[in-house]
Amino acid sequence: MDAQVKQIQLGNELTIYTAAEQRELYLPLPADCRSLVVDASQLQEIDGAGVQLLLCIAKECHEHDIHCQLKQPPQALQEVVELLRLEDIDWFDSVVGEAA
């Protein structure tokens, strides 16, 4: 993967119990990052804190003109987004696939 392309592999849980620790791993993004791929294919459980972390990542990308792609968002993420009525927000520049 190109040095200017960074990939974040989310684990199976993005909740209040793990979000702060994961934020430390992912943010801030490297200064030379021009494109970010957030791979959510393993994500099984997400809550409001997890959604906030994804919003922070997307916001950081938009503020620094970094292309941000969400890869294979699971049904759990889609359900939380709908529940919180956030489906009209352009979080990511593109979404690729859907987790099985």
Rounded Cα distance, 68 and 60, in Å: 10
Q: For residues 33 and 84, which has the higher predicted lDDT (pLDDT)?
A: 33
Q: Where are the domains of the chain?
A: 5-96
Rounded Cα distance, 14 and 27, in Å: 15
Global pTM? 0.84
Please give the sequence-ordered ranges of beta strands (E in DSSP) within the chain, or none if there are none. Answer: 5-9, 13-14, 35-39, 45-46, 67-71, 94-96
Comparing CA positions, the residue from 79, 84, 77, 69 lying closest to residue 99 is 77
The CATH homologous superfamily of the domain defined by 5-96: STAS domain (3.30.750.24)
Segment 15-62, tens digit of pLDDT: 999 999 999 999 999 889 999 999 999 999 999 899 999 999 999 999
